Every structure is written in C-alpha cells, then in structure tokens.
Amino acid sequence: MQVCPTGIDIRDGLQYECIGCAACIDGCDQVMDKMGYPRGLIRYTTEHALSKNWGKREIWRHVLRPRTMVYFAILGLIVTAAATSLSLRMPLKVDVIRDRGMPRVTEDGAVDNVYRLQMMNTEEKANRYVVSVEGIDGVEIISESQFEVPAATTRAVPVRVRVPAGAAPTGSNRLNFVVQDSDDQSVKITEKAVFLVPR
C-alpha cells in the first residue's frame, strides 16, 4: 500500500484502480528477501491458476496445450498473410475512363480516342509515371505520356490515343493502358479499356 500510486491494497484482490505498474510486486519481493521468505506472494498470475494453486510450470503447461497452439498457429498465419499483403501492395492505382465524345477520324483515316486517366500515388513521395498503350497494331499515344503525381495525391490527366487507318475493325476493340513508375520497374499497372472505331 505504501508504494502503490493509486493507494489500493492489492491483497484484497484485483481492483479496477490498479494501473499494473508492478511497484507492489517489487516492494513485496524486497520485503520477502529481507525476511528470508520465497518471492512471489504478490505476482502476475490468473484467477484460474490461483484457485488451482499452480506454480509457473503448471501455468506454462496449461498455456502450451494443443488447443492454444492451434490458436497461435492460426494467428501466425493471419499475421503472415497480412504482412505479405502489405509488402506486395502496389503503391499506385489507375482508373481509365473513355471520353464520352465520338472518336475522331483524321484526314489519313487514323482514329483518335480520348481517355481520362485517374492516377493515385499512395507513396509519401512524388512519382513520375510513364503511360503506354498496347493491344492494337500501331496504337500510340499522341498526347503527353509522362505525368508527375505529388505524394499521396490523385491526379486526372487526358490522354489521346491514335490507331492507324485499317489497323482495327469497326466497333469496339480491346486496348490496354500500361502505367509504370519511371524510377521503379516493379511499380507497373495494366488497365483494360475499349477503343472505338466508327463506321
């Protein structure tokens, strides 16, 4: 009671005022040492161990029984899966939205479609991303294709894509946008989109 910062008498059992500072354990052990008695009159234990008068060995034997080992194994698997998923997390997200306007046909028969790319940089530093397209012969980006996105920011950018005359049939064609971090080859996202060729 003299050393307890909350002024309670722990000999009366667990009390909600206890902040678990363990000052009473140290004080009690010092007194027991002086008196030549075994330590541990006040100690960390459980109500169950107290009622069964278990020592440390019995408590550990109870803790390390098959059922708790299975719980530990499941918890370990969950923690490993969470850590793996965190380490494999891609710090870039991309959404591709095709412009609602009709595709434009140039004088030489090439077709242009315009898209809006929404790029989310989830890193704590600014990154430069390089955008390219694939999936149709001769497809290319004819507008700006490199964009800087500030740290932890989403930026929407317009991209104009051109397909040469006759390279794709009329109607809807599958197209892939590839967005890659210019400094880190492992940060790369491929997003599907649709390229429209008018009749």
Residues that bind ligand SF4 (CB under 6 A): 3-6, 8, 10, 18-24
Give the C-alpha separation, 179 to 145, whole Å.
9
Nearer to ligand SF4, 28 or 131 (CB): 28
Q: Which of 186, 187, 193 is nearest to 120 (CA)?
A: 187
CB of 46 to ligand SF4, least distance (A): 15
Residue placing its CB nearer to ligand SF4 in the complex, 30 or 146: 30
Shortest gap between Cβ of 20 and ligand SF4 (angstroms)? Answer: 5
- Two tokens, residue 178: 């590839």
Nearest CB to ligand SF4, comparing residues 10 and 167? 10
Residue closer to ligand SF4, measured from CB, 43 or 104: 43
Interatomic CA distance for residues 7 and 28, integer angstroms: 15
Q: Under 8 Å CB-to-CB from 72, ≥6 apart: which residues?
A: none
CB of residue 2 to ligand SF4, shortest distance in Å: 10
- Residue 40 beta carbon to ligand SF4: minimum distance, rounded to whole angstroms: 14
Contacts of 159 (CB under 8 A, 6+ apart): 114, 115, 116, 117, 131, 141, 143, 144, 145, 177
